Amino acid sequence: MQQHTLVDQAIISRHSVRAFKSTPVATQTVKDILSVASRAPSGNNIQPWNVYVVTGIKRDELIQKVCAAQSQIFAQPECAAGHQETFKYYPEQWTSPFIERRRENGWGLYGLLGIQKGEHKKMQHQHLRNYQLFDAPVGLFFTLNQTLETGSKMDISMMIQNVMIAARGRGLDTCPQAAWNPFHHIIFDVLNIPSDQELVCAIALGYADPAQPVNQLQTPRVPVEDFAVFYE
Ligand SMILES: Cc1cc2nc3c(=O)[nH]c(=O)nc-3n(C[C@H](O)[C@H](O)[C@H](O)COP(=O)(O)O)c2cc1C
């Protein structure tokens, strides 16, 4: 196969997997993925990324504590004030065309899960699946030093995409997750992450369970002519 075809295949076959098998991932495989991913470019080659790899008992402890915190928020929404992300990932006011795309994505997902409008309990259950890493055996938590600027979020994002593509090259799947960000205090506490760090996002990593309908979500993309302008 031609080089570009292989690379395109790895990129195109990446999608967000939200149901994983319990099959473990070898630590060496995770190291290989991170080693390849660290070839990502970064401004001045500062390589600002840190990654905390969570499996086994630590994974279970983290899941238990964050699920408890999120469940408490469901019961008492005012508790959310104690769990704030350190940077805004989404705008407070959504505008077109983003709001329509966001809705389409949400309803596409809920449709596959058989969740109808107004079924809040089922929606909460699906939201909680984030904090079980969708059953993935590996959680990756990406942090930056707080002294760094917005540009480093570009650098780490490129590295994160590399992780997801390198995972595809090894038959593994991923789901990037910003859902963990509000719970950075709990995560930092459980993993002993220095307080000068900032959580950027997490990735669930493992082997996809193709039998689960949730993994059949096919997300659309706008065509090139709708987002690119060519000057010739
Ligand atoms: C930085 C980032 C954070 C995300 N956070 C979540 C998340 O917390 N939970 C989730 O189910 N999906 C999350 N997603 C997945 C997006 O919903 C998904 O990428 C998008 O719908 C496109 O679908 P695809 O990844 O299957 O191509 C996130 C994606 C990105 C890039």
pLDDT tens column, 33-58: 999 999 999 999 999 999 999 999 99
Structure tokens at 29: 């495989």
181 has pLDDT over 80: yes
Residue minimizing CA distance to atom 16 of ligand 1:
16
Distance (Å) from CA 105 to ligand 1 centroid? 10
Model pLDDT, residue 112 = 96
For residue 175, which amino acid is it? C
Q: Which residues contact 108 (CB under 8 A, 6 or more apart)?
A: 217, 219
Q: Which residues contact 6 (CB under 8 A, 6 or more apart)?
A: none
165 has pLDDT over 80: yes
Model pLDDT, residue 81 = 96
Distance (Å) from CA 11 to ligand 1 centroid? 15
Model pLDDT, residue 4 = 81
Domain residues of the chain, as ranges? 14-89+130-218
**Can you tell me which atom of ligand 1 is nearest the CA of 17?**
26
**Can you tell me which atom of ligand 1 is nearest the CA of 218?**
26
Stretch 166-179: mean pLDDT, rounded? 98
CA atoms of 87 and 64, how far apart (whole Å): 24
Model pLDDT, residue 108 = 96
Stretch 109-114: mean pLDDT, rounded? 96
Residue minimizing CA distance to atom 18 of ligand 1:
16
Model pLDDT, residue 42 = 98
Residue minimizing CA distance to atom 30 of ligand 1:
176
**For the purposes of burial, counting CB atoms within 10 Å of the CB of 138, is it exposed (0-12), middle (13-18) or buried (19 or more)?**
buried
Stretch 207-221: mean pLDDT, rounded? 97
Model pLDDT, residue 3 = 77
212 has pLDDT over 80: yes
pLDDT grade, residue 23 (50/70/90)? Answer: very high
Query: Strands of 173-177's sheet, edge to edge?
Result: 50-54, 138-145, 197-206, 173-177
Report whether 217 contacts 103 (CB < 8 A). no
Give the whole-number percent of the chain exceeding pLDDT 70.
Answer: 100
Distance (Å) from CA 177 to ligand 1 centroid? 6
pLDDT grade, residue 2 (50/70/90)? Answer: confident
Distance (Å) from CA 165 to ligand 1 centroid? 14
Within 10 angstroms of residue 137's Cβ, the number of other Cβ atoms is: 19
Stretch 108-136: mean pLDDT, rounded? 97
Distance (Å) from CA 16 to ligand 1 centroid? 6
Give the mean pLDDT of the chain. 97
140 beta partners: 53, 203
The most distant pair of C-alpha atoms in the chain lies apart, rounded to whole Å, by: 58
Query: Which secondary structure element, helix H or strand E, spans residue 181, and what is its range?
Result: none
Pocket of ligand 1 (CB under 6 A): 15-16, 18, 105, 130, 175-179, 201, 219
Q: Output the CATH code of domain 14-89+130-218.
A: 3.40.109.10
Residue minimizing CA distance to atom 6 of ligand 1:
177
Per DSSP, helices labelled H in 14-133 are 27-37, 56-75, 98-113, 120-129
